[in-house]
């Protein structure tokens, strides 16, 4: 099977030649170009954007990091030349550098990764390489921050394209969460109830800035991943009367619903409105206050797609990610993290048809890895994660060759005080037991 990027190139070329007659579809023909076009466009316009792909319509905050211009030699090099340069630089650096590739990253980059996994698996994988001076994270900004928090101060974590952020993570910023917290304190006070449970426990998804992880560490809260969200919510309910969950409303809602929390006990907090757009009673009655954030890749999945998959492939197993809307999770056969999806496919004994609701690069890689099964993405339109897309082999070659020359570029460093509190929230997650 060809990579997602090759498929996009083909679709775009066919569309240019045959127009409407072309087969297949991508959400943006701009995905066929090099991401450096967007580095430049943003520099010229003076406003950041997430670029083509699923998050293209999400507004990027003004503070979003931007990537300077990649030297022309990397933009003009062929894939084969970039491959040779990456391999040569990697060989020269040896154990001094480790390359981490997220499941949602393009194949053209993943082929050079020493470890492939989810954000937390990758941060932990880096811990097995303490001799590495540089950790090159081919993922997005919050993942590189987590790796910096967990790695030693001597290790430099590098994000090959600084514009590789996460639109969901950006939907909850530290100022808005602080403001929300103050309003909640005014309503609930700060005193525990007779059972010793505090009014609110903040829980942040791994897909959030280090500042929000630190906020949780400082306020008795915790981090969760999509693999352990249930355990973490149980931990929080043992200690608090209610939870403030950010930034992903869908993971929060799907997990709380599975724990028996009713939908009317889950008001949504819109940071642009007073009291998040709620009346005081709704907040007093709440068990989980959901932040108004979402993933634009997972938002694309629908019940209609599941119905079509079931009609086209009787007996199909539908597995979706818990960042999908509740109706989609309810209609699927099962829901779970990227690791859950991978393990569910690995565990299938006989040839099985799987329709998967998560990012296309991961789905296509699973399809190539398990040819005995039929595996396809529920979304018929190829629309990868916009921010993962910002990492191209050209940027990987550049950061590696800079390291060979003794220069560290694109280092992600989390402030010392932020690190300490964020680590507290991560350690609580590691210690949490169901």
Q: Which residues are annotated as a binding site?
A: 102, 119, 166, 205-207, 226, 295, 321-323, 338, 385
Is 42 or 359 the residue whose CB approaches ligand CIZ more closely? 359
Interaction of residue 338 with ligand CIZ, rule CB under 6 A: yes
Does 208 sit near ligand CIZ (CB under 6 A)?
no
Could you say which residues in the range 147-206 bind ligand CIZ, by CB under 6 A?
206
Following DSSP, what letter does each residue of 255-275 receive, concatenated? Answer: HHHHTT--GGG--EE-TTSGG
Q: Judged by CB, which is closer to ligand CIZ: 313, or 340?
A: 340
Question: CB of residue 125 vs ligand CIZ: minimum separation in angstroms?
Answer: 12
Choosing from 28, 56, 209, 337, the residue that interacts with ligand CIZ (CB under 6 A) is 337
Run of H or E residues at 353: strand 353-357
- Other Cβ atoms less than 10 A from the Cβ of 21: the count is 8
Distance CA 229, CA 258 (A): 11
Site string for ligand CIZ, 99-118 (x = CB under 6 A): -------------------x
Asked if 361 interacts with ligand CIZ (CB under 6 A), we say no
Q: In sequence order, what are the residues at sequence separation of 6 or more whose Cβ sits closer than 8 angstroms to the Cβ of residue 339?
A: 117, 118, 121, 227
Q: Which residues are annotated as a binding site for [4Fe-4S] cluster?
A: 166, 295, 385
Nearer to ligand CIZ, 162 or 206 (CB): 206
Cβ 154 to ligand CIZ shortest distance, Å: 25
Going edge to edge, which strands form the sheet with 353-357?
Answer: 334-335, 317-320, 353-357, 374-377
How many residues belong to the site for ligand CIZ (CB under 6 A)?
10
Residue 324, φ and ψ in degrees, nearest 5:
-75, 155
- Tell me which DSSP letter residue 221 carries: -
Of the candidates 15, 155, 207, 296, which one interacts with ligand CIZ according to CB under 6 A?
207
119 is a contact residue toward ligand CIZ (CB under 6 A): yes
Half-sphere exposure of 201 toward its Cβ, with a 13 Å CA cutoff?
Answer: 25
Q: 3-class SS at 341?
A: helix
Of the candidates 155, 225, 305, 364, which one interacts with ligand CIZ according to CB under 6 A? 225
Residue among 242 and 298 whose Cβ is closer to ligand CIZ:
298
Instruction: Compute CA distances 351 → 315, 427, 429, whole Å.
Output: 11, 40, 37
Tell me if 160 sits within 8 A of 399, measured CB to CB: yes
Contact flag: residue 386 with ligand CIZ (CB under 6 A): no
Rule CB under 6 A: is residue 360 a binding residue for ligand CIZ? no
Closest to 348 measured CA to CA, from 325, 367, 324: 367
Q: Does 226 bind ligand CIZ (CB under 6 A)?
A: yes
Q: Which of 24, 54, 1 is nearest to 321 (CA)?
A: 54
Binding region for ligand CIZ (CB under 6 A): 118-120, 206-207, 225-226, 321, 337-338
């Amino acid at each position: 099977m060809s990579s997602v990027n090759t498929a996009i190139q083909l679709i775009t070329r066919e569309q240019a030649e045959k127009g409407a007659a072309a087969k297949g579809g991508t959400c943006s023909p701009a995905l066929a170009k090099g991401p450096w076009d967007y580095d430049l466009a943003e520099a010229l316009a003076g406003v950041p954007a997430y670029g083509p792909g699923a998050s293209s319509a999400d507004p990027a905050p003004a503070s979003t990091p931007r990537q300077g211009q990649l030297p022309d030699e990397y933009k003009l090099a062929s894939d084969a030349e970039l491959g040779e340069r990456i391999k040569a630089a990697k060989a020269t650096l040896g154990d001094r550098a480790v390359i981490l590739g997220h499941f949602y990253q393009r194949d053209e980059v993943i082929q050079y990764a020493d470890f492939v996994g989810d954000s937390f698996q990758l941060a932990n994988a880096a811990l097995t390489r303490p001799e590495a001076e540089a950790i090159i994270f081919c993922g997005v900004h919050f993942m590189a921050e987590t790796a910096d928090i967990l790695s030693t101060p001597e290790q430099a974590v590098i994000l090959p394209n600084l514009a590789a952020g996460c639109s969901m993570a950006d939907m909850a910023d530290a100022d808005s969460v602080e403001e929300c917290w103050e309003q909640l304190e005014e309503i609930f006070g700060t005193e525990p109830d007779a059972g010793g449970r505090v009014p609110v426990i903040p829980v942040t998804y791994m897909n959030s800035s280090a500042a929000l992880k630190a906020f949780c560490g400082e306020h008795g809260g915790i981090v969760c991943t999509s693999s352990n969200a249930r355990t973490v919510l149980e931990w929080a309910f043992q200690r608090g009367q209610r939870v403030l969950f950010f930034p992903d409303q869908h993971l929060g809602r799907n997990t709380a619903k599975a724990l028996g929390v009713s939908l009317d006990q889950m008001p949504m907090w819109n940071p642009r409105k007073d009291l998040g757009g709620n009346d005081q009673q709704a907040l007093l009655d709440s068990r989980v206050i959901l932040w108004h954030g979402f993933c634009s890749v997972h938002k694309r999945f629908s019940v209609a797609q599941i119905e079509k998959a079931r009609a086209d492939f009787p007996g199909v197993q539908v597995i979706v990610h818990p960042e999908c809307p509740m109706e989609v999770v309810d209609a699927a056969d099962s829901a779970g993290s990227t690791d859950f999806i991978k393990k569910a496919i690995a565990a299938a004994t006989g040839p099985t048809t799987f329709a998967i609701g998560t990012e296309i690069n991961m789905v296509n890689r699973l399809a190539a890895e398990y040819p005995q099964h039929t595996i396809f993405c529920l979304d018929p339109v190829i629309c990868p994660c916009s921010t993962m897309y910002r990492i191209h082999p050209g940027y990987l070659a550049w950061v590696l060759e800079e390291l060979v020359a003794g220069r560290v570029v694109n280092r992600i460093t989390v402030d010392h005080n932020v690190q300490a509190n964020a680590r507290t929230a991560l350690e609580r997650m590691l210690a949490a037991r169901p």
